[in-house]
Amino acid sequence: SFVSSLIVFQALCNYIVFPHLHYFAKGFGKGIEPRRGYCLTLVIGLACTAIGELNAIAPIISNFFLAAYCLINFSCFHATFARSPGFRPSFKYYNLWLSLVGAILCLAVMFIMNWWTALLTFALILGLYIFIFYRKPDVNWGSSAQAQTYKTALSSAYRLNHVSDHVKNYRPQILVLTGCPSSRPPLTDFTHSITKKIGLLICAHIVKEPITQRMRNAYSRQAYGFLNKRKIKAFYTLIEDECFSRAARALIQSTGIGKMKPNIVFMGWKSNWQEGGIEDIQEYFNVIHEAFDKHLSLGILRLQEGLDYSEYNDIEDVAELPATNGKKARRLSFLKSTEQGEGMTRDPSSAQLSQAESSPETTPPSTPPADRKYSGDVGGNQSGNSNQVARGLSKAIPKDVLSCVNQFQRKQKKGTIDVWWLYDDGGLTMLIPYLLINHAQWSGCKLRVLSLANKKDELEREQRSMAALLNKFRIDYSDVMVIPDITKPPQECSKQDFERIINPWKETDDEKDDSSLITMSEILALKDKTNRHIRLRELLIQHSQDATLVVMTLPMPRKGTCSAPMYMAWLETLTRGMPPFLLVRGNQTSVLTFYS
């Protein structure tokens, strides 16, 4: 016991489990003997002997030994009970129940011998456990608790697979196409606000070039490090494919296990779609169709400041591989990849975005989404107060950018979440804002529900019906507005703005064979829908320009009738120059119920 206990003590000191004890971790000689621990034991032994009354300390020493034997016996029982393949006892007559009986007997003898020293021992052990639990040292001993966690999760997943779906138990399970989560912090934070403590969140990363397994592991470490620092409970998955829509289809089909599979796909708005090629737009459009084809709901988030902040990070500092064969670990740079929305060129440091302080301003300043450049060296050579260095990093980031990065991490300003409930999609358009206002960050916002009416004489009846419906759903709202003049023709200037958007994508005589462009027949066939969306933008500007968040039912693109540039032009018309805008469309499955 004298030698083995000191070796255990030396290991604890070496792992720095407890502070200020690293001095005793040093070993001497070929066997790395804990000589300093021997000296410490000698001092403690002499101090106890100097008391002159060994019977005074004998109960305490005996209780400590019994506590150690009790915990060892219980650990053996628990490791066997958790069915850990790594626990293979060599004792021929070992039995898990015998270990449990031994632990109980040790515990009983502790109290029979001296009850107050037993309580003192328990208090000391409990204090050490609480200290380690909250300190969370960066060590991994492969405890039986980890094996039990896996067994419990696996059993729960099996049981969940046999539970029938019911509208009352609907939960949002989101597959969000973030790229590396730290590349688009606002998109990651926003989706986490929806699933926090109630649903599943999976961050999907599509890499267009082949990567090694080491790089996949480095990506995974960086992603989970970022999620942990921002206290986001989510999973991360990575897939390689040079075709974005094909990779998204694979993710939609294969992500998840049993009943824990995504029922909503989230994407960021492709703010640079007008500068890209028709192939990129078609890929983005195909992902929208893939989600609807697989009967999943879809959400698209647009921020005027953009979502991609990877340009403010050092790509060289993302991952560091462990040493191999005694050689110094070499640094690994991530491959550049392109994702949906803005092109992801570099991966930001998780610590940089998570530890950076948010600006005290409640509303981030509006900057052009396609041009987020600043004069001077972004790496930290700027002077003045316009930049702020994130703790632990040398890289400086403009304060207004930090404000945008962390805008969904802080409490939102008091205002309204305007819900434009245009179509019956099963109620998801209404459920997501309700989930948001139940969180502390959005508690200062009130729901304002807006719907459309074709005739003015139906205005009062539609408003009463909408209010009664929301009351049946038990959704707290501040106001219900029914807007009657949706059929009114849009203004000429609004039509001209839309024409400027679609002009580069119109089919010309030289492009007759390109079916992905906007044809004159399509413009004529979709004239009424186009005018409706243009008119809807005018109403949005009139009623929701000052909202904290706008949530609107996503228009459904019809295959074969609406081209990708036309559909993108519709969405651009609706969301351009507006507050944070969420377009969402359910899969016609009811997610709201009258019954509690």
Note the pLDDT of residue 326. Answer: 39
Name the CATH superfamily for 164-312. HUPs (3.40.50.620)
H or E segment and range at residue 530: helix 527-544
Q: What is the pLDDT of residues 342-387, one digit of tens each?
A: 433 333 443 333 333 333 333 333 333 444 433 333 233 333 344 4
Nearest by Cα to 246 from 220, 284, 272: 284
Please determine, looking at this structure, whether the domain spanning 413-585 carries the CATH number 3.50.50: no
The rounded distance, in Å, linking the Cα atoms of 356 and 192 is 19
Task: Please state, in angstroms and as integers, the Cα–Cα distance from residue 77 to each residue in 4, 63, 102, 126, 443, following that order.
Answer: 22, 21, 10, 20, 47
Side chain identity at residue 90, one-letter code = S
Task: Please state, in angstroms and as integers, the Cα–Cα distance from residue 288 to each residue in 73, 294, 514, 590, following that order.
Answer: 57, 10, 21, 20
**What sections of 82-230 are H helices per DSSP?**
96-113, 115-135, 144-161, 185-195, 213-229
Torsion of CA 97, 101, 103, 105, to 10 degrees: 180
Domain ranges, ordered by start, for the chain: 1-146, 164-312, 413-585
Residue 164 CB burial class (10 angstroms; 0-12, 13-18, ≥19): exposed
**Residuewise pLDDT in 10s, the chain (596 residues):** 566 677 777 777 877 777 777 788 888 888 788 888 888 888 888 887 887 777 778 888 888 889 988 998 998 998 888 888 888 888 888 888 999 999 999 999 999 988 888 898 889 989 888 888 887 777 777 777 888 888 888 888 899 888 888 888 888 999 999 988 888 889 999 999 999 888 999 999 999 888 899 999 988 988 898 898 888 999 999 999 989 999 999 999 999 988 899 999 999 999 888 888 888 899 999 999 999 999 999 999 999 888 888 777 543 444 443 433 333 333 333 333 334 444 333 334 433 333 333 333 333 333 334 444 333 332 333 333 444 433 323 355 777 788 888 888 888 888 899 999 888 888 898 899 999 998 888 888 899 988 887 766 677 777 788 888 888 888 888 888 888 878 888 899 999 999 999 888 888 766 666 677 888 888 898 899 999 999 999 999 999 898 999 999 999 888 888 888 999 999 999 999 899 999 999 888 888 877 65
H or E segment and range at residue 291: helix 278-293
Model confidence, pTM: 0.76
Domains 164-312 and 413-585 share a fold: yes
Strand partners, 451: 482
Q: Which pairing describes strands 479-483 and 445-452: parallel, antiparallel, or unpaired?
A: parallel
